[in-house]
């Protein structure tokens, strides 16, 4: 009997010793440590980069952290965890993914994903929208666009734009791309507004002139950080043009450099900065707008270089960053010595499908420059421009002159066989997968 008691006592003592250790670490080593200044900085940077994770993933991590805190930092016994998991509901079955969202979409909702428009283009207002009103909910249900872009006139102050973006995101059945042109320098919807207390830059050319890519990365991280705070998730930046024509009035110092390699390196670093802040990037204006005289906002523009000449200069910042950027924006310039169709780049199948997607192998999202610009709108109706751009290989159609006409044009082209539903599905899935990646489904 005494022997049994001794064995029992020894067993209890061994159990207590095991309890006082966890995964080989003494209990006092498992207590939370105060972060040093450098550790705190690393944690902040990690938190910023985690904004790009899917929302459901972040929610699950948050719950796991709370559970860990409630347990005093100790790890649960494996068997106990297994039992709890067996009883818990299967959360994965309810997770929103590109596949599950796509499966529930109507044809109109799929078509809607192809478009990014200004708020007033949805609302049909004559003036720029700066405040939410109830009619938007009805109209965004009628025209279920994939994204909204805020222009200078839509932005008045920090509270206003944050609330407007939040409201628009809230009334959409599916998560919206909420975009802005915030390059820094002369194109900055927020940075040029004196009501915003944000860092400001003279030009990207000045950043490129430093020769230090760390400066370009900091630009992306800084701009990405503040636009993220106002509810944006897409920035149509950085500018990947090469400033090769001194008489160019539309690009100029928006470019990082007149040297294609310098511009390429700066663009790559800037993209990294944006991504660290959880912002989707779209480099522009493919295949390079730096050697034009004309401004495609008001007229057509022509680049006379052939493909080999473009490869040696204008195309370099795009080619070297194809695997980094999420989107590439196609310009409306015409290239008579590259394509035979005589179409602006944004409407040219030879340039988008054959060259960019084919020869160069770009797998990301191709978005047009604004289809309201006169280089396109002078010759094509909103419906015609939308169909031609999508037929050419564009995945997202930016700012058509009339969203109703543009969506109807795509729908009619699907009905008469001009466009295939397979082609539609391909672009919609690319869009949804990017939204899933950044947690905005």
Report, as residue numbers or ranges, the catalytic residues: 369
Q: Please state whether beta strands 177-180 and 182-184 pair in parallel, antiparallel, or not at all (unpaired).
A: unpaired
Total residue count of the chain as it appears in this document: 441
* Separation of CA 36 from chain center: 33
Give dist(CA 285, CA 311) in Å, integer: 15
Nearest alpha carbon to residue 329 among 368, 289, 372: 368
Nearest alpha carbon to residue 20 among 31, 9, 12, 28: 28
Rg (Cα) of the chain, in Å, rounded? 26
Give strand pairing partners of 330. 286, 368
How would you write 7-40 as a 3-class SS string? Answer: HHHHHHHHHHHHHCEECCEEHHHHCCCCCCHHHH
Give strand pairing partners of 117. 148
Residues 176/440, Cβ–Cβ less than 8 Å: yes
> What SS3 class is residue 180?
strand
Q: What is the DSSP string of 305-365?
A: --HHHHHHTTTHHHHTTTTT-SEEEE---B-TTT-SS--BGGG-HIIIIIIIIIIS---SE
Nearest alpha carbon to residue 96 among 18, 182, 170, 175: 175
Give dist(CA 63, CA 58) in Å, integer: 9
Read off the tokens for 110. Answer: 């799929």
Please, what's the largest Cα pairwise distance for the chain?
102
Give dist(CA 347, CA 212) in Å, integer: 37
> What SS3 class is residue 327?
strand
**Which residue in the block uniquely carries the two structure tokens 């988008």?**
352
Give dist(CA 376, CA 310) in Å, integer: 23
**Would you tell me the crossing angle of helices 403-415 and 382-392 to the nearest 10 degrees?**
50
Nearest alpha carbon to residue 233 among 283, 186, 182: 182
């Amino acid at each position: 009997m005494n022997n049994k008691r001794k064995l029992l006592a020894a067993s209890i003592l061994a159990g207590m010793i095991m309890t006082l250790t966890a995964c080989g670490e003494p209990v006092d080593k498992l207590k939370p440590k105060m972060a040093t200044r450098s550790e705190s900085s690393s944690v902040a940077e990690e938190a910023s980069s985690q904004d790009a994770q899917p929302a459901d993933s972040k929610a699950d991590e948050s719950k796991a952290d709370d559970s860990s805190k409630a347990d005093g930092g100790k790890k649960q016994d494996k068997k106990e965890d297994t039992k709890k998991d067996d009883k818990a509901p299967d959360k994965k079955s309810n997770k929103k993914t590109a596949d599950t969202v796509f499966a529930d979409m109507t044809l109109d909702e799929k078509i809607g994903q192809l478009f990014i428009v200004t708020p007033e283009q949805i609302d049909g207002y004559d003036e720029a929208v700066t405040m939410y009103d109830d009619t938007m909910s009805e109209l965004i249900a009628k025209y279920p666009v994939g994204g909204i872009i805020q222009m200078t006139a839509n932005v008045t102050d920090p509270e206003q734009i944050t609330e407007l973006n939040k409201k628009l995101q809230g009334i959409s059945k599916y998560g919206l791309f909420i975009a802005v042109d915030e390059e820094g320098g002369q194109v900055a919807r927020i940075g040029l507004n004196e009501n915003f207390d944000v860092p400001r830059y003279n030009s990207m050319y000045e950043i490129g002139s430093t020769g230090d890519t760390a400066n370009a990365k900091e630009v992306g991280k800084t701009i990405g950080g503040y636009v993220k705070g106002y509810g944006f998730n897409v920035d149509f930046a950085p500018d990947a043009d090469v400033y090769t024509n001194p008489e160019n009035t539309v690009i100029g110092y928006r470019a990082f450099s007149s040297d294609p390699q310098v511009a390429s390196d700066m663009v790559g670093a800037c993209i990294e900065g944006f991504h660290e802040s959880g912002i989707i990037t779209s480099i522009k204006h493919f295949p390079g707008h730096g050697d034009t005289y004309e401004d495609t906002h008001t007229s057509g523009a022509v680049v006379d270089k052939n493909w080999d000449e473009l490869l040696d200069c204008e195309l370099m910042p795009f080619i070297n960053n194809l695997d980094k950027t999420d989107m590439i924006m196609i310009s409306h310039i015409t290239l008579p010595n590259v394509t035979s169709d005589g179409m602006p780049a944004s409407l040219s199948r030879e340039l988008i499908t054959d060259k960019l997607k084919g020869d160069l192998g770009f797998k990301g999202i191709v978005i047009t420059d604004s289809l309201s610009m006169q280089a396109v709108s002078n010759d094509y109706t909103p419906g015609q421009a939308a169909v031609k751009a999508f037929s050419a290989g564009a995945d997202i159609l930016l700012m058509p002159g009339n969203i109703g006409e543009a969506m109807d044009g795509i729908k009619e082209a699907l009905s008469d066989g001009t466009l295939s539903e397979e082609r539609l599905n391909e672009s919609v899935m690319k869009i949804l997968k990017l939204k899933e990646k950044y947690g905005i489904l």
